[in-house]
Amino acid sequence: MRDFEEIIQEKGLPRVGQTVRSKDYGTLWRVMEKRELWQTISDDPETGQPRMIPAIYLAYWKIQEGGPPGAGKMMGFTYTLYDNTFTTHWEIVP
């Protein structure tokens, strides 16, 4: 769907398999999963009622040198067109 691609492009989100660095801690994480979903927000400009907006969920796996394969910390975040949390907290490692 066009809405999901727009989020990926405008927010500069990484692809599955890419490595990102936490700007807060300097740790490296690999993107392991991407899901398209709908998120409820409560600020419809016309009615003030809750509405559904498209969002992208990314799951990250912490890269640990010397650790056993497939083990380690995982976490995930949801991104929409209405936030800048990816660029605030992450950078894609070339």
Q: Residue 71's pLDDT band (boundaries 50, 70, 90)?
A: confident
Is residue 37 within 8 A of residue 57, CB to CB? The reply is yes
Mean pLDDT over 5-25 rounds to 95
**Better pLDDT: 53 or 70:** 53
32: left (phi over 0), alpha (psi -120 to 50) or beta: alpha
CA distance linking residue 55 with residue 10, whole number of Å:
12
